[in-house]
């Protein structure tokens, strides 16, 4: 029995190996040239759908109606991304175990369906003292389909980041989602709710500028956080609105100027928040939509006869300069 390879056979094997190495090298280089691999991209039909859930605001023993509603909305709308805009949990969580259970409650509807999701914090999330925001964010990020990120550590807040959405070919970013931590309560002389800090506004401006530079044009965006800007009230009073305003806006007393930067950068088409559970209006303010989603959580306050729900956004790759949005309510399912 021969223990060596004949020359022609050896030559063939070496040639095959060389070809394989070359192909791999070309593939790796092509990958490097193409740069970033995008987690999110427009579907082949040219659309991208986002569902906003806000103010679940519950503890480890979540109200089952909240989960039923989240599941129904996801099955009906089939979104490509879910954003949770704060107050996922509240002071009913007394221990690390409680918090992890509360986080798991809100994670499951998306995880079971393999839908990408991302969170920002509200004022109630850090009411409990068992876990810091950093620790909670790590817990969210441990889920396979969660796209939340810590964001820069040298600016205010935990979880200021952006999510790029690539075109349907997955080649270049054509839309952007800003996620900001709008804080909790203002300390010192002012009181009331926190305002978005200058360091966060600077981060937004730098991000927006570098995206514009890299892509040769403004990359249109939506912005999500928890507490409404003071401009919401002014926008509502101007009257170009749809939806409900059942309570006065609980905005910060100080206007730190994020909206002025949004005007100057020209990329953000809409700013959407939660916090005021029974508001779901969208107000046009100098071409930017300032809007709410009413809350999804049954374990916290609402208004009699005002159904819980979620906000839906539909983007079109063919024209990213605008977007469609509507509320999907629990009453839509109960009264078909």
Nearer to Zn ion by Cβ, of 116 and 126: the residue is: 126
The H or E element spanning position 316 is: strand 309-316
Closest-CB residue for Zn ion? 275
Measured from the CB of residue 122, what is the shortest distance to Zn ion in angstroms?
4
Measured from the CB of residue 275, what is the shortest distance to Zn ion in angstroms?
4
Task: Note whether 240 and 283 are within 8 A (CB).
Answer: yes
Closest CA to 261 of 198, 219, 323, 213: 198
Nearer to Zn ion by Cβ, of 200 and 251: the residue is: 251
Nearer to Zn ion by Cβ, of 41 and 277: the residue is: 277
Measured from the CB of residue 123, what is the shortest distance to Zn ion in angstroms?
5
Measured from the CB of residue 53, what is the shortest distance to Zn ion in angstroms?
14
CA 204 to chain centre: 15
Taken in order 239, 243, 248, 252, the sign of the CA dihedral is negative
Nearer to Zn ion by Cβ, of 126 and 208: the residue is: 126
Sheet containing 282-285: order of strands: 40-41, 161-166, 173-179, 221-224, 268-273, 288-292, 282-285, 241-242
Nearer to Zn ion by Cβ, of 83 and 211: the residue is: 83
- CA angle, residues 101, 135, 295, in degrees to nearest 5: 55
- Distance from C-alpha of 250 to C-alpha of 175, rounded to nearest angstrom: 29
Measured from the CB of residue 96, what is the shortest distance to Zn ion in angstroms?
22
Measured from the CB of residue 294, what is the shortest distance to Zn ion in angstroms?
13
CB burial of 246-266 (b: ≥16 within 10 Å; e: otherwise) equals: eeebebbeeebbbbebbeebe
Closest CA to 220 of 253, 277, 265, 259: 265
Measured from the CB of residue 124, what is the shortest distance to Zn ion in angstroms?
6
CA 152 to chain centre: 17
Measured from the CB of residue 86, what is the shortest distance to Zn ion in angstroms?
6
Task: Note whether 268 and 307 are within 8 A (CB).
Answer: no
Nearer to Zn ion by Cβ, of 41 and 184: the residue is: 184
Nearer to Zn ion by Cβ, of 9 and 247: the residue is: 247
Nearer to Zn ion by Cβ, of 99 and 164: the residue is: 99
Using CB under 5 A, list all residues that contact Zn ion: 87, 122-123, 275
């Amino acid at each position: 029995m021969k223990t060596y390879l004949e020359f022609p056979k050896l030559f063939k094997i070496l040639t095959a190996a060389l070809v394989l190495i070359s192909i791999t090298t070309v593939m790796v280089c092509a990958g490097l040239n193409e740069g970033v691999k995008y987690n999110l991209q427009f579907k082949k039909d040219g659309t991208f759908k986002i569902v906003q859930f806000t103010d679940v605001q519950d503890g480890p023993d979540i109200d089952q109606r909240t989960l039923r509603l989240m599941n129904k909305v996801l099955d009906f709308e089939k979104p490509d991304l879910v954003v949770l805009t704060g107050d996922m949990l509240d002071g009913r969580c007394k221990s690390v175990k409680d918090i992890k259970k509360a986080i798991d409650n809100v994670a499951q509807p998306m995880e079971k369906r393999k839908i990408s999701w991302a969170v920002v914090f509200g004022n109630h999330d850090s009411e409990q003292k068992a876990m810091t925001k950093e620790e909670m964010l790590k817990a969210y990020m441990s889920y396979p389909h969660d796209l939340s990120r810590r964001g820069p550590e040298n600016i205010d807040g935990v979880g200021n980041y952006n999510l790029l959405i690539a075109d349907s070919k997955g080649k270049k970013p054509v839309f952007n989602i800003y996620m900001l931590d709008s804080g909790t309560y203002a300390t010192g002389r002012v009181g009331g709710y926190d305002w978005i800090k200058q360091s966060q506004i600077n981060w937004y401006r730098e991000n927006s500028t570098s995206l514009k530079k890299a892509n040769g044009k403004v990359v249109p965006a939506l912005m999500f956080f928890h507490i409404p800007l003071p401009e919401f009230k002014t926008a509502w009073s101007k009257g170009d609105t749809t939806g409900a305003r059942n309570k006065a806006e609980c905005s910060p007393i100080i206007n730190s100027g994020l909206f002025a930067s949004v005007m100057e950068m020209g990329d953000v088409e809409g700013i959407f928040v939660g916090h005021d559970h029974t508001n779901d209006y969208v107000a046009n303010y100098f071409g930017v939509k300032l809007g709410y989603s009413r809350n999804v959580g049954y374990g916290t306050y609402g208004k009699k006869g005002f159904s819980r729900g979620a906000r839906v956004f539909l983007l079109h790759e063919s024209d990213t300069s605008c977007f469609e949005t509507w509320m999907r309510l629990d009453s839509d399912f109960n009264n078909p």
